[in-house]
Amino acid sequence: MERLLWCFLVLNSFSSVLGQTDLHEKAFVFPKESDYSYVSLKTQLKTPLTAFTVCLYFYTELAPIRDYSIFSYATKEQYNEILIYWSKGKGYSFSVRGREVLFQSPGNTDAPTHICATWESASGIAELWVNGKPQVRKSLQKGASLGTDASIILGQEQDAFAGAFDRNQCLVGDIGDVNMWGFVLSPEEINAVYTGGTFSPNVLYWEELNYEANGEVFVKPQLW
């Protein structure tokens, strides 16, 4: 009986590590180029998304060198359901349901970068904020809705559902404070997030994150 109780406690402890994890003041570190290192984020969406906001920090020296993925949300129907991507020579690429808009912005290689991307179906308006500053609004996929059965990946771009990674599109560096809401944050709220607020994210919450790390990924103190 004692042995059974010990096993039960060990299993309980193990499942809690794989469950909700508080990553406050922590970051995922991808120290080298690969096609096998990534973090899968877990969430349960009950209804299709018709609006969202994604905010996060990242830190990399890749901007003048090559493209890289920042945030990849795929469904079995569309692997670029949401994609935030740095495109060398072009700027930030923001895709919804496979359609892309570009936001021209200099790549930050000397400091961590904070971005927020927002989209709403009703107007089709897409926004990108970089270090608390808004870029010019764009039109993107008015009337669309996003699937709920999602594979959300950090560190790699998905060219198929939960896979088909290309090492030439991977992130090398740090990423953290990843939060996602099923609605569009106001400019005031985005600026508050940039300065450390959270506004109770209801899709992904960095301080109660369900994730699975694969390959050479490390959790380390944030550098921002």
**pLDDT value at residue 199:** 87
Write out the E strands in the chain. 20-21, 26-30, 38-42, 51-60, 68-74, 82-87, 91-96, 99-103, 113-120, 125-130, 133-134, 138-139, 151-154, 173-181, 209-214, 218-221
**Mean pLDDT of all residues in 212-218:** 97
60 has a pLDDT exceeding 80? yes
Residue 105: what pLDDT? 82
Label residue 16 by pLDDT band (50, 70, 90): very low
Residue 127, SS3 per DSSP: strand
Statement: the pTM of the whole predicted model exceeds 0.95: no
* pLDDT grade for 62, boundaries at 50, 70 and 90: very high
Amino acid 21 reads T
Q: Quote the pLDDT of residue 152.
A: 98
Which amino acid is residue 222, in one-letter code? Q
For position 4, what pLDDT does the model report?
A: 39
CB-based burial of residue 212 (10 Å sphere; 0-12 exposed, 13-18 middle, 19+ buried)?
A: exposed
Measured torsion, CA atoms of residues 150, 151, 157, 163, in degrees rounded to the nearest 10 = -120
Average pLDDT over every residue of 2-10:
39
Mean pLDDT, residues 131-154 taken together: 97
Please give the Cα distance from 103 to 95 (Å, whole number). Answer: 11
pLDDT digits (tens, 9 = 90+) for 79-136: 999 999 999 999 999 999 999 999 998 766 678 999 999 999 999 999 999 999 999 9
Residue 108: per-residue pLDDT: 60
When pLDDT is averaged across residues 169-193 and rounded to a whole number, the result is 98
Per-residue pLDDT tens over the stretch 18-34: 446 899 999 999 999 99
Which CATH number is 26-221's, of 2.60.120.200, 2.60.120.260, 3.40.50.360, 3.40.1190.20? 2.60.120.200
Give the percent of the chain with pLDDT over 90: 84
pLDDT for 107 equals 63
Q: Mean pLDDT, to the nearest integer, of 58-78?
A: 96
Determine the pLDDT at residue 109: 63
